[in-house]
Structure 1
């Protein structure tokens, strides 16, 4: 027969006291005498008694879990962010449930629904490349589950978010290329379906304006972030009568795909074509041809800030207080290699 776990009622029966007395003794309530506390705790230890977490969660109206939805765990950027998120969560005695959207809206929606059903106390999310609306996140308000977006933040009002300022660093990146003699600079952006502020493109345009360089629209191309999508975008640039000499690329992963493909096309990296990127992931220092520069977006710090913000929202929810929307913007940094 399956062995039953010991309960407060069993301890109470053996000691001939009430269950409520046992509960108070286990929690060191001042109304319970020292002798009774010692007897209760001694028997609880002998029986290997463990508190009923479900009952505790129900009483405290918390599950001490938060949900985390990311595009893809294989990206070193998001692995670093997870470290920051879990460090803060552990400090609050919380665990993190992690799900990958794989840049698919339907999968992202299913993950959010599942986390709602598991009664997480809050959700941190970086939206997928195919997320064109955030209705599934907004529905969490009906269940009093706060949501904090980070890195890939939707271009929407009335949200809580943590991100890096990519506008200033984009201006700086293009200006650095211009100072190094590049006049035809392409911009390899992410998918147009990605519902987020396009600070990269805004900074690209502003740098051209500051240096009185006309923007050639044919130099602005998009990738769906897949290897095939990046190759197609790169081919469209190489087919131009006046090719670009440098490319500002959406992130390091897209850049590495483009560099690999360029080499297959017998192009000499940093001579025929140069690259500047975003994310500054450590793995790029081990490749033969890394981007010349990359914008550091501090994923660990973003993860820490997003989690700290989420816990402030959880605390305010517990205290039944209104929380004003917070949009925290960290400073990014152009790293020249």
Structure 2
């Protein structure tokens, strides 16, 4: 049967010394003699003494824990990101608590509040797809808990954010498709609440304008990122009298669903219709018909920047913290 770890008070009673003497001995205070230090440390080891982490955290004003809230660990992008976040956090003496919102706003709010009550030193967030109000994160400033958003970020200059420039890369996707002889380019948009849904769309429209291609509204459809809604979107496009010869999808997961449904309708993938998207997931390289091109959004680099930004905020006085917005350049990757 394992022995319950002893307290400083129990060590002091056995050695017939004060609690403060034991505490100073364990911390190698110069006012404590060598013999007393050795006695205290020997007994502490025998009794499985462990420092009271809660008391230490209270004294230091830090728990050395970080919270991370992600939409889902089902996605490779976020798996890569959390691995990077944990590695950097541990190297800096922090433990990471992870919560998945599952793209549910109420769940996201509950996780944020739970992390607040556990007194994490800071939180890194990628927003749920339907989050439009950020009060549950903004109120954390009252508790001096800094928040850094990455990838799925809110608009507004008052937030710390790390993201990629997807407007420019969307223009580049259109440019590449036109160079491949594709002119009737469709667009599958994501949820409006996701800031980068609109960035992608802006880039798509700008790309068409660059090549003097007239915007056709029937070529713009939406999905809520579920397979069902993506199927509806691709069916609308394939049912057109003049269907598209290329489709830009919100991300690789949407593209893979779209490819699946298009194949079921007899479409020759990346021949009749070119499929391109965002995220550049490694798994697509093992597929027979992956998106022919995808935008690399650098999950490792985004995660690195997010942790560095958060640790910098934690190590500043709350009154001195100023929001920072870090924007990385994404890159179109063509699959050979």
Class of the TM-score when normalised by the shorter of the 2 chains: over 0.9
Structure 1-normalised TM-score?
A: 0.95
Instruction: Measure how far apart 1:261 and its partner are.
Output: 0.7
Q: What is the CA–CA distance in structure 2 between the aligned matches of 1:7 and 1:114, rounded to whole Å?
A: 28
Q: Which of 313, 321, 330 matches 2:328?
A: 330
Aligned partners of 2:268, 2:28: CA distance in 1, in Å?
A: 72
Question: How far apart, CA to CA, are the structure 2 residues paired with 1:17 and 1:207?
Answer: 78
Partner residue in 1 for 2:9: 9
- The answer (yes or no) to whether the contact 1:155–1:196 under 8 Å persists in 2 is no
State the distance in 2 between where 1:117 and 1:82 align.
Answer: 22
- Say if 1:21 and 1:32, in contact at 8 Å, map to a contact too: yes
SS at match of 1:316: coil
User: What residue number does 2:208 align with?
Assistant: 208
1:188 and 1:223 in contact (8 A); partners too: yes
**Residues in 2 aligned to 1:39 and 1:332: alpha-carbon distance in whole angstroms:** 60
Contact 1:280 1:297 in 2 (8 A): yes
Deviation at 1:3, TM superposition (A): 5.6
Runs of 4+ displaced beyond 4 Å: 1-4
| Distance in 1 separating the partners of 2:147 and 2:22 | 38
Contact 1:189 1:249 in 2 (8 A): yes
CA offset digits 1:25-69 (Å, max 9, x no partner): 111222222222222111111111111111111111212211111
Structure 1: 5+ residue stretches without partners: none
Stretch moving more, 188-197 or 238-247: 188-197
Superposed displacement of residue 11, structure 1: 1.6
Normalization by structure 2: what TM-score?
0.96
Check the 8 A contact 2:146/2:313 in 1, yes or no.
Answer: yes
Aligned CA distance change for structure 1 residues 193 and 326 (closer, same or farther; 3 Å): closer
Indicate conservation of the 8 Å contact 2:4/2:48, yes or no. no
SS for the counterpart of 2:266 is coil
Task: Kindly report which structure 2 residues correspond to 1:1-337, keeping only aligned pairs within 5 A, or say none.
Answer: 4-196=4-196, 198-317=198-317, 320-337=318-335
Offset from partner CA, 1:264-322 (integer Å, 9 cap, x none) = 111110111111111001110111110001111110111111011111111113xx541
Aligned counterparts of 1:327 and 1:219: Cα–Cα separation in 2: 33
- The unaligned stretches of length 5 or more in structure 2 are none
